[in-house]
Structure 1
Amino acid sequence: MNYRATAPLTRGSRARRIAPAALATLALAALTGCTDGGVDGTPGAAGVRDPFFPKLGNGGYDVAHYGLTVGYDPESRHLTGTAEIAARADKNLSAFNLDLKGLEVKDVTVEGKKARFKRSGDELTVRPRDVLDRGETFRATVRYSGTPQTVTDADGSKEGWLKGDRSALAVGEPAGSMAWFPSNNHPTDKAAYDIKITVPEGLQAISNGELTQETTTNGRTTFAWHNAEPMASYLATVAIGEYDTKKSMTSKTNSGVPVFTAIDPTLPKGEYEKTEKVLAKIPEIMDWAELNFGEYPFSSTGAIVDDRVDLGYALETQTKPVFPVEAADTSTLVHELAHQWFGNSVTPKSWQDMWLNEGFATYAEWLWAEDNGGDSAQDTFDALYEGEYYESKADNEAIWDFPPAKQPNAASISNAPVYDRGGMVIHKIRETVGDETFYDIMQGWVKTYRHSNANTKDFTVYVEKHVGNDESREELKQVWADWLYGEGKPDSP
């Protein structure tokens, strides 16, 4: 994500004596999985206790695939949806939860059988007719409809379902995806997606991955998109409206990755032409990124530029980052494309690990400038340290508000220390280990954790393991202490 316009308990119970007969019953239940009158299994947790968003995500199962079939009418702003969710039970499940905000659920089936369900806030609790055994794969189908909501984040930004004039845009970082489909809405449960969107004829519907089919019947057009690689729910997107997706703007990178771009045709002529020129750099940027970061982790790439909704930031939605026109510049494009490696493929284990996404993507901007006639990464680092990077004194001082790995709360995940000081941490690693080892570490990191999740400790352990000598390891420990975890501005750059 890139926001920058100027700167970027458990409750115990009293112990009680249990009679021997009751103990025997409990022991038998533990062996057979039966408790509470012979009901097999236990409910999955409603939330995975993320330090910033404890109610997001759900326990007890792992999703492999989402099949989403969505119909939307921009004039009435009404959405109808069917979500087919293929998952595996991680325990004997008597019930499980999905995250869904606001929309009305019509019915739920599990393995083709009607299931009971209830709503509580943003939680949809599903109780299958039969208990799901640990290790069992199952398919749950949820039919739902309603007016999808725009969500206001803790930092005041908008996400969820953003509505424009005969258009809409779905963005989900960190929690907004549950505004338009039920999911296990946490970065730790990534899955493949097939998304079909039906809209009035004349409009387009763009999503992640590759377009596999486009059909028009009775005045409505359905677009089918296939995203085979694992994707966190917050990276799913749908863009609905009129777009220019000209053949001249569809190309491939040197490694053969197809590029799909879409531009809002209502942009003023000057803005449109400027945007075209920026997006035309995608193959060049991708070739540069593969040279620096290693093999691209997805089967397509591209971008969506739309100025008809109140977005206010660029976002790294998988394979097709989205931009408002004011953010459609080369540096931000580099940032969001770098996220495909850092954040989309290697995804944080919790929202507290956001600096791993944003620090690397910010540093990618510095590297691009360094390699293309701009300031060196060292120049940028020095300007940030000396308080000369931003015009505003407040923006320069905000870099030191907190350490990147110790964000204070949910409202801080997109604040300056996560981006700028995060980038400074990456530069300190480079300075400590030298260029050859640094680039080996960057490429090895994304290869080792490709399509999986990692946290800050995983990263620091990985870096220390891949330096050549004890002296460098000790220097890195000081980098962690001063730059990654240390409060305030380090005494020396």
Structure 2
Amino acid sequence: MLKTIILFFLSILISYNTSAQVKSERNYNVISYSLDLNLYDCFIRPFPTSFSASEKITVLNESSSGQISLDAYDGSLIIDSVGLSGTSFSHSDNILTINLDRFYDSSEVFDLLIYYRHKNVKDSSFMTGRGIVYTDCEPIGARRWFVCNDIPSDKAITEITTRVPVGVIYGATGNLTDSLVSNDTLIYKYVSRYPVATYLVAIAGKTDFRLQENIWNRYGDNEKIPLRYYSQKGETEFNINNVMKKVPEILEFFSKLFGPYPFEKLAFATTDQQYQWGGMENQTLITLCPDCWIEDLVCHEAAHQWFGDLISPSAWSDIWLNEGFATYCEAIWAEYKYDYTGYKNLIDYEASKYLKHNPGREIYNKDWDKNIPADTILFNDYLAYSKSACVLHMFRYLVGDSVFFNSLELYARNPEYMYGNISTGEFIKFMSSVTNRDLLWFFGQWLMQPNHPVYQNRTNIKKAGDAKWKVEYTITQHQTNSGFFKMPVELKVVFENGSDTLIKVDNDYNVQKYEFEFSSKPKRVLFDPDNHIVLKEVIK
């Protein structure tokens, strides 16, 4: 049975290089996006969402072609013209197809110039209202406000120049490299030093943002990293100050575990009531819900700068690598601040959420590589966040603290994945390599099949000769709509004299029987007494 299950998991992960598969559909790699946005009117009543823009895209061709297709949502964008290497275009079914001035061979680089307008429509990605403007792109919203190759595996450098009214405080992905005033217009220019996935590109501005900034000497090299906080009138001052105090500590904590903070700045900006999330980990510019200066939330989004931004998913089937890791990082932050009890309380809480609201689906669905489901499915709180974090907890239990944290550091510092992407298959292969054990069975069962083990165990205690006692313990799983879950299991034998002993066994198959002999009389056997296997039910 176990061999059959492993072969099934292998069939799902037949290729470790998901990113290559996704990119092969479009045979090019975007090197950079240079956006020039005129958002002046968006800040003035009645706060329209319409704006005009131009965009230069630099592309590295990966096969001979005289045409290129990009994502541009019909409902939001009107394409006016193209230039440079682009000669003509068609725009339909949310795809902008540009005819090039000649055929470009593989490894050739060319530039496109696109003039476009954003319609005066609410599209859930480009938001305006009462003097505020911001974007929210995950998973495929970037194409609603700029033309792009809107997949997470094609990262590019960004340069964002924006025209706003004088007085607007404005932030964007990357570092502020220039600002100048021209009559009643303030022009900001932000440039990213590192490549960014399209869904992590962001802007946020407001007529009355309060900007507070301090400098953090980055752990590892002492580079001065600007930390910026864009808050609004009426937000809780105590919470803002607490976050400003905690962020440097959070960044240093994660830097010690996973390697130095990977970007040129970190900023936080609150939004308005249109915002549907708690927070969003946009690269270098995290957006938060109104007045959401909350330590756990800020910790979660900061952790994403390593897990999600530095190393991004190859495709949306790999979203658990973002949300599971960030949720787990909340727990290890709690462990750092409040000892192991704080950590375990949070993990148990996440497990209880999943067990109470289990949707009955697997975490990893390879079909999402091409067919992105609704947000309520893709970002399901109980699977992508809670269950995924608990899988990492059980991985820690499986390999031990030293190997676990060493593996995470090697993962976050691996040049093959830094500022790039990773698939679930590549992650499993990497972790198997650095731990020197085959982990396909572990991650396969927890990620690629639904539900969890339901145990109903049996204890039989009997005399086994003079001053000898025998314990027969049988572990049985009764779950439906899921296969067997193989796990190491701790058994605590409690004796009549008040003493106890802890035994660790491998539960390799269903209805597995274990026999133990003792010189003291056993009273009972406790199954998984410390609840390491948090994703389970036990029938008494």
Category of TM-score, reference length = shorter chain: 0.7 to 0.9
Q: Distance in 2 between matches of 1:452 and 1:317?
A: 15
Residue type of the alignment partner of 1:333: V
Q: Distance in 1 between matches of 2:256 and 2:150?
A: 33
Preserved CA contact (<8 Å) 2:49 2:126: no
Normalising to structure 1: TM-score of the pair?
0.79
Aligned residue among 103, 106, 110 for 2:80:
106
Is residue 136 of structure 1 aligned with residue 95 of structure 2?
A: no
Q: Distance in 1 between matches of 2:121 and 2:281?
A: 21
Residue type of the alignment partner of 1:419: Y
Q: Percent identity?
A: 24
- How far did residue 437 of structure 1 move? 1.1
Gaps of 5+ in 2: 1-17, 456-532, 534-540
User: 1:455 and 1:222, CA in 2 relative to 1: closer, same or farther beyond 3 A?
Assistant: same
- How far did residue 433 of structure 1 move? 1.2
Residue type of the alignment partner of 1:410: P
Q: Distance in 2 between matches of 1:437 and 1:376?
A: 22
SS of 1:117's partner is strand
User: 1:418 and 1:141, CA in 2 relative to 1: closer, same or farther beyond 3 A?
Assistant: same
Preserved CA contact (<8 Å) 1:252 1:258: yes
- How far did residue 272 of structure 1 move? 3.6
Residue in 2 that maps onto 1:46: none
- How far did residue 477 of structure 1 move? 4.0
SS of 1:129's partner is strand
1:43-442 to structure 2, matched below 5 A, reads 59-72=26-39, 73-74=41-42, 75=44, 76-101=48-73, 102-111=76-85, 115-147=87-119, 149-151=121-123, 159-241=124-206, 242-247=208-213, 249-254=214-219, 255-268=222-235, 271-307=236-272, 309-325=274-290, 327-373=292-338, 375-385=341-351, 387=352, 390=353, 396-399=355-358, 401-406=360-365, 410-411=373-374, 412-415=377-380, 416-442=382-408
Which structure has the bigger radius of gyration? 2
Residue in 1 that maps onto 2:477: none
- How far did residue 290 of structure 1 move? 0.3
Residue in 1 that maps onto 2:426: 458
Q: Which has the higher strand share?
A: 2
- How far did residue 403 of structure 1 move? 2.5
Q: Distance in 2 between matches of 1:313 and 1:57?
A: 34
SS of 1:115's partner is strand
Normalising to structure 2: TM-score of the pair?
0.73
Provide, for residues 149-202 of structure 1, a one-character-per-residue CA deviation record: whole Å limited to 9, x for no partner: 443xxxxxxx41012211111111011111111011111110011111110111
Residue type of the alignment partner of 1:405: Y
Preserved CA contact (<8 Å) 1:282 1:302: no
Of structures 1 and 2, the one with the larger relative CO (CA 8 A, separation 6+) is: 1
User: 1:396 and 1:488, CA in 2 relative to 1: closer, same or farther beyond 3 A?
Assistant: closer
Q: Distance in 1 between matches of 2:190 and 2:24?
A: 24
RMSD (Å) for aligned C-alpha atoms: 2.4
Gaps of 5+ in 1: 1-48, 152-158
SS of 1:302's partner is strand
Provide, for residues 424-477 of structure 1, a one-character-per-residue CA deviation record: whole Å limited to 9, x for no partner: 111111111111111111111122210111111111111111114xxxx35x44
Preserved CA contact (<8 Å) 2:226 2:264: no
Q: Distance in 2 between matches of 1:136 and 1:109?
A: 18
SS of 1:453's partner is strand
